[in-house]
A = this chain, B = another copy of it.
Amino acid sequence: MRKLSSQHVRFKSWIKHLPDGKILLWNIHGFYEVIVECIDNERLSEIPSWSQVEVVGEIVGPGRICIREIRVLHKPVNPPVENESIDPPEDPVEYTKHYYRYLKYPRILKSILVYSSVLNNLRSFLLKNGFIELPPPIIGKSSDPGLRGARKISIELYGGVYELQSSLIMYKQLYASLLDRVFYVARNIRLEPVENKDTGRHLVEFTQVDIEASDLSMNEVVKLGERALYYTIRRILNEYSELLDYSEIERLENEVDKPPYPRITYDEAVEILRKKGFDIRHGEELPFEAEARLAIEYNSPVWITNFPVKARGFYYLEDPARPGYNIDYNLILPGGHGEVLDGGCREYRYEKLREKIIEIHKEPLDKYEWFLGLTRNNEIKPTCGWGIGVERLVKYILNLKHIAYATPHPKIPGVIGP
């Protein structure tokens, strides 16, 4: 039905009878609530909701279709029990457990398609900008220890202990030192505390588009991040104009203007938030709600930069001009959606890195020996990078209440679908 402008159409679609006598037709190109003409009403009503059909006909006006031929391609044996609703369960726990039953529901189908398109567009943006894609390791000796309350999962293999990767910082530093600009489309696993299922923004399994560069300045990497976001959203608006509602399009066009986006430091953010009544201790990571609130203030994506060293993972680079603070930057989305990008320049000097692993994280050194050895031999260059959370970006684009609905295989803290 892509060519709504032309008179004659032939398309594959799911069908749902609506209470007012209209029907809903939808497929991967769009969603249409239509009044049907030309076809015998009885013939039409014999086709059960949730069937897949092939339709041949003409568009006779806005929201009106004349159906000349309709052929059932596929009929479900047990159509959904929730026969009256075209929306999946509102409870994300219920949805996660049985997501595979709801994939053809219009709202879910839309988010799967937007997910796939976000991934494509981020990737092609990076390839155009000279980045080389590498396959992400799933298991490894040393993953990111700088997790906000999430645990890592260990497994035993051939007599050794390995972690499921929760972030690929050191691997990115290694390859960016070699190839200048690299990225992973990383699938990460984080064992989040069960209560994080209610934040609406935490998944146990998620995708990060994870870049690192040794030939770009901090400022260039920040700019690349906001351009990547803007590019991706513009492309979605162009490609999926028939999938998105007018209100969705309007909101995105209103909130996501051309970069640059405002940058405020962590210290400034703390000050602004305290004035808004948030009780924030300086030196800790900002609470989710506070971060999200900041971007609502700006009604635009906003950067928070220069976090305190002690609030973050050991691998960020301390600012020589401002000891105690990192050279780092997170991008926060408006509308209460919060952080979508986490970035920074990285520590690459042996002594400093060793010190920080011991002092800040109290982690055993042996896990990081291979990487420390590389830094000792000056094999790791100064690099900066970031990771964009793909599901968080999808959640933002479609203004979803819970991130469970933003991914083709939802796994939320405490509940893992099949």
* Chain A residues within 8 Å of B, Cβ to Cβ: 28, 74-78, 98, 100-101, 103-104, 109, 112-113, 115-116, 119-120, 127, 132-142, 153, 155, 157-158, 160, 162, 164, 171, 174-175, 178-179, 185, 187, 189, 191, 194, 204-205, 207, 370-371, 374, 376-379, 381, 390, 407-409, 411, 413-418
Contacts and interface: CB of A to CB of B under 8 A. Distances in A.
A366 to B, nearest CB: 11
A174 B103 contact: yes
Contacts of A155: 153, 155, 164
B204 A157 contact: yes
A378 B76 contact: yes
A243 B214 CA distance: 23
Contacts of A374: 100-101
Given A76-B379, A178-B109, A376-B77, A414 B158 contact: yes
Nearest to A153: B155
Contacts of A139: 189, 205, 411, 416
A408 B135 contact: yes
Number of copies: 2
Contacts of A109: 178
A200 to B, nearest CB: 18
Given A133-B119, A377-B76, A158 B409 contact: no
A100 B370 contact: yes
Contacts of A112: 134, 179
A203 to B, nearest CB: 11
Contacts of A127: 120
29 contacts: A74-B378, A74-B381, A76-B379, A77-B376, A78-B377, A98-B370, A100-B174, A100-B374, A101-B379, A103-B174, A103-B178, A115-B135, A119-B135, A135-B185, A135-B407, A135-B408, A135-B409, A137-B409, A138-B164, A138-B187, A138-B205, A139-B189, A155-B155, A155-B164, A162-B416, A175-B408, A185-B185, A187-B187, A370-B418
Contacts of A185: 135, 185
A100 to B, nearest CB: 6
A78 B194 CA distance: 47
A383 to B, nearest CB: 12
Contacts of A164: 138, 155
Greatest chain B CB density within 10 A among A100, A136, A207, A376 is at A100
Nearest to A140: B418
Nearest to A367: B418
A304 to B, nearest CB: 27
4 A-B pairs closest in CB distance: A141-B418, A77-B378, A370-B418, A137-B409
Contacts of A104: 178
A272 to B, nearest CB: 35
Given A135-B407, A187-B187, 13 more contacts: A28-B132, A100-B370, A103-B175, A113-B132, A115-B134, A119-B135, A135-B185, A135-B207, A138-B205, A139-B416, A153-B155, A158-B414, A158-B415
A136 B100 contact: no
A205 B137 contact: yes
Contacts of A115: 134-135
A374 to B, nearest CB: 6
Contacts of A141: 416-418
